[in-house]
């Protein structure tokens, strides 16, 4: 019963956080300068009747509290994020929905590559702590960890696109390019640099965290017992050290699943990748607040859900968390 209460508490906390984000989303964008009707009013060809109709359409003719707030919360909970100002009055859900898949493509593949490479580098440096390989690997991880995404992207563009000319610099595909298998290859060539940028930006933190966990696990008594039994080093590392040392890294990976989407926004701008990042830039330039509200809410919910999944995953992997919650 106590474990069930712990789980319900985590889920309830996540729902309360999402509600606070929803309220902040409503207040924040109404404090910003500009609105759809004011944007239309700057056009001398738009009549006063059209401006008044726009205010009615976006619900701006009603009091802010509680009418607009209640309408906004109800519409958002039903999946209605309103209509875009820039994209011809299209539904915000439709505009954002077209951009999610390109963002998930580079973020998902980048996360997988970073997790695999970071675990390998962290385990290798942690096992050889204090040696030359450890110093080189740790220094490399620190350098990657300290570099912003946009800076890494600019370096990769300079090297592989401008200097060597191996890969395209922008876009998701070649205009008028081939279809079928050749089209998939063309897509992967365009996605290679954005994926590499995200992966390199994440490898450092995974490697540093896992190295610390492996170095700490090497001092545990079960490692000494395993060595006394005559087990090989690779078996000790894979069978005894990594299962325990991976717990913080797995938690960080679950958290990054939400945060890295926000970090990928700058990557998309650097590479003109048609995802949520480029959409955010365009919406900011045109003050398309309904689209910005939708993107902000989507990113916030992804972080909250990722935190919840990290809590549940950690309790699943580490029995001590479950036992502690059940007491």
What's the pTM value of the predicted model, to 2 decimals? 0.82
Report if residue 241 sits inside a domain. Answer: yes
Enter the tokens of residue 206: 């995974």
Report if residue 306 sits inside a domain. Answer: yes
Report if residue 21 sits inside a domain. Answer: no
Contact, 251 vs 137, CB < 8 A?
no
The per-residue pLDDT string of the chain (327 residues; one tens digit each, 9 = 90 and over) reads 577 787 888 889 999 999 999 999 888 877 777 666 666 666 677 777 877 777 777 677 787 788 888 888 888 888 888 888 788 778 999 999 999 999 989 998 999 999 999 999 999 999 888 889 899 999 999 999 999 888 899 999 999 888 888 888 788 888 777 778 888 889 999 999 999 999 999 999 999 999 999 988 888 888 888 888 888 888 888 888 888 888 888 878 877 776 676 667 889 889 989 998 889 888 888 888 889 889 989 888 888 888 888 778 777 766 666 555 555
Report if residue 37 sits inside a domain. Answer: no
Spatial distance between the Cα atoms of 194 and 322, rounded to a whole number of angstroms: 39
The CATH number assigned to the domain holding 156 equals: 1.10.3720.10
DSSP string, 230-257: T--HHHHIIIIIHHHHHHHHHHHHHHHH
* Alpha-carbon torsion angle 209, 213, 216, 222, nearest 10: -170
Report if residue 158 sits inside a domain. Answer: yes
Supply the range of the domain harboring residue 274.
101-326
Report if residue 151 sits inside a domain. Answer: yes
% helix, strand, coil for the chain, step of 5: 80, 0, 20
User: How many structural domains are present in the chain?
Assistant: 1
Report if residue 268 sits inside a domain. Answer: yes
Report if residue 59 sits inside a domain. Answer: no
Spatial distance between the Cα atoms of 176 and 232, rounded to a whole number of angstroms: 56
Least Cα distance to 29 among 305, 302, 294, 303 occurs for: 294
Q: Using the 8-state DSSP alphabet, how is residue 47 labeled? A: -
Q: Using the 8-state DSSP alphabet, how is residue 272 labeled? A: T
Angle at 277 between CA 174 and CA 153, to 5 degrees: 70
């Amino acid at each position: 019963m106590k474990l069930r209460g712990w789980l319900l508490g985590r889920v309830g906390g996540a729902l309360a956080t999402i509600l606070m984000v929803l309220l902040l989303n409503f207040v924040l964008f109404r404090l910003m300068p500009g609105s759809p009707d004011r944007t239309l009013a700057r056009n001398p060809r738009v009549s006063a009747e059209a401006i008044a109709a726009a205010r009615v359409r976006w619900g701006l003719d009603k009091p802010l509290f509680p009418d607009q707030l209640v309408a906004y919360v109800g519409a958002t909970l039903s999946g209605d994020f309103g209509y875009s100002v820039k994209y011809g009055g299209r539904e915000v859900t439709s505009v954002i929905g077209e951009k999610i898949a390109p963002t998930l493509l580079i973020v998902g593949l980048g996360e997988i590559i970073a997790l695999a490479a970071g675990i390998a580098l962290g385990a290798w440096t942690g096992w050889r702590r204090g040696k030359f390989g450890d110093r080189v690997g740790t220094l490399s991880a620190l350098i990657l960890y300290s570099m912003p995404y946009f800076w890494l992207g600019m370096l990769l563009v300079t090297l592989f696109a401008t200097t060597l000319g191996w890969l395209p610099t922008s876009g998701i595909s070649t205009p008028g390019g081939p279809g079928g298998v050749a089209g998939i290859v063309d897509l992967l060539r365009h996605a290679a640099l954005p994926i590499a940028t995200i992966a390199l930006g994440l490898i450092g933190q995974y490697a540093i965290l896992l190295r610390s966990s492996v170095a700490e696990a090497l001092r545990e008594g079960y490692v000494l017992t395993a060595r006394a039994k005559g087990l090989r080093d690779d078996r000790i590392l894979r069978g005894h050290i990594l299962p325990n040392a991976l717990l913080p890294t797995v938690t960080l990976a679950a958290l990054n699943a939400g945060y890295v989407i926000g970090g990928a926004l700058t990557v998309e701008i650097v590479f003109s990748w048609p995802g949520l990042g480029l959409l955010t830039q365009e919406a900011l330039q045109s003050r398309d607040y309904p689209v910005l509200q939708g993107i902000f809410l989507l990113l916030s919910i992804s972080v909250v859900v990722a935190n919840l999944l990290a809590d549940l995953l950690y309790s699943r992997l580490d029995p001590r968390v479950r036992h502690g919650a059940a007491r």
